[in-house]
Chains A and B, each alone.
Chain A
Amino acid sequence: MRSIAASLALPFVFLLVGASLASAAPGPARAADRHFGIDVALSPQVGISYARSVGLGLSGTALEIVPFYQSRMLRAEAGVAAGSSPVGWQVLAPIRAGVRLPAPPFTVEALAEAAPGVALFKQAPLFMIGAGALGRLIWNPSPSFALFLTLGVRDTLCPRYVDYTGIAYSALDLPLSLGARWTFRAR
């Protein structure tokens, strides 16, 4: 239970620290670098382990819609990732914070992630929690639009699944996202 509580607290720490850092930079020059926007991505999850047994396979595919807030060097984001998984269908709420390295027309981002959510079952949704890290390469063809490729690693648990099935569900996946980003300047 302690690990679940820690996992639950993690996203809020990420969000708080990330958003604080992203909005802390004062002065007009820095203010012009602050943006908000939204990412939309399709994310196949390449599984490398299931129930603690190593084995390659496709864990599922998710659609991610993730609003974000960023400064020139820092970024925080929180959204929804819905799709299939080895337990059926799931909805996670990925919360991420990290750093950015702009090198026009590209940007590189490194983010830590916590992803609470639910596995969708008719009788009752089951709580899930994921944690991981990801790297992202962004191509910015215009100030307001970008395309990106993300590669990460995420460990996801569904603690109560074992009560129904006898299998302690955990999946170590490599989420691979291809997406589009719309960026708006913060006022």
Chain B
Amino acid sequence: MRNIFPSRFTNLARATGRDRASPIKTEEGRGMMRSITAFALAGAAVLLVSCSYLPEFSLGSLDPLVSITETREAIVLTKGAPGPTTAGFMFYPGGLADPHGYLPLLADIAAAGIPVIVAKAPGNLAVFSPNAGLALRALVPEAAGWVIGGHSLGGAMAAWSAHDNPDAYCGLVLLAAYPPDTKSLAAWPHPVLSISAENDGLATPAKIEGTLSLLPPQQQPLTSLGTLYSYTSGGYAVLHQIPGGVHAQFGSYGPQKGDGTPTISADAQRAETRDYIVEFFTNNGWL
């Protein structure tokens, strides 16, 4: 048979067959083992920084009236059948955060009558499947439309998908997130809600401020619930910063490395987040 591996492997075979010496004692063998070792060490280093955050909350704290079903690809939270105009909320978790870490926030939103789908991602990194939500919408066929959103990396990937599929979603919710530079939503034809946190050490207020040009130019800061929206149709962005909030408290997975120090409780930040999201749905006629 013609040898299709003429260089290293032929030498390896020669060493093995003729000399009956372990090729690991040859330069080729040692080189190969060094390569494999380096490859394995590099892989181990990647894995060490790939650990996800486990959820940290009591399962008993979730609203018992919210139904939670789970598949390999998604978690679905519903409370009864959605109304005829109720849109669903497609949520992308933050990078390297177990998706169950968002159940307290999302169960609260589902309890308000909004069906929620949490899109799981390979390796808990939404960057591997930014358009996963498109197919998952079929899990709640009764929804009148879909608002996509996410936290941190998940929010960026939600913005990515919203940019590439403007007809698939009627709104976007960003939690401590902003669109990627290449996926500007300045011309996106639907409403955007951006919620950030004052003491966020990762998606810092400066980063949020510096990326506002990637959102629709009609923008309105919201300082309190019940503020009348200045815009009611087309592409606009409403912005809210949670005083004393931090990055990790949008989820329930404990403190996060690099984050700031909260001066608001996790429960209070979660409740404020829920209230602004529910109001966003209500003001746009999706609930």
Q: Which residues of A contact B (CB under 8 A)?
A: 38, 40, 47, 50-51, 53, 55, 57-61, 63, 65, 80, 82, 84, 86-89, 91, 105, 120-126, 141-145, 164-167, 171, 182-185, 187
Contacts and interface: CB of A to CB of B under 8 A. Distances in A.
A141 B3 contact: yes
B71 interface: yes
B3 to A, nearest CB: 6
B5 A57 contact: no
Among A53, A65, A91, A164, find the residue whose CB has the most chain B CB atoms closer than 10 A: A164
Interface in B115-141: 120, 122-124
B12 A145 contact: yes
B231 interface: no
Contact of B52 (A57, A61, A89, A185): A89
Nearest to B35: A40
Contacts of A55: 71-72
Interface residues of B, number: 44
A109 B55 CA distance: 41
A143 B72 contact: no
Contact of B22 (A50, A86, A187): A187
Those 9 A-B pairs whose CB atoms lie nearest each other, nearest first: A84-B123, A50-B72, A88-B52, A165-B100, A120-B51, A144-B13, A145-B9, A88-B124, A89-B50
Interface of B: 1, 3-5, 9-10, 12-13, 16-17, 20-24, 29, 32, 36, 39-40, 43-44, 47, 50-56, 59, 68, 70-73, 96, 98, 100, 120, 122-124, 254
Given A84-B122, A91-B47, A184 B40 contact: no
Q: By DSSP majority rule, is chain A's interface helix, strand, loop, or mixed? A: strand
A123 B254 contact: yes
Contact of B12 (A40, A89, A144, A167): A144
A65 B37 CA distance: 10
A122 B22 contact: no
B13 A80 contact: no
B23 A144 contact: yes
A38 B44 CA distance: 18
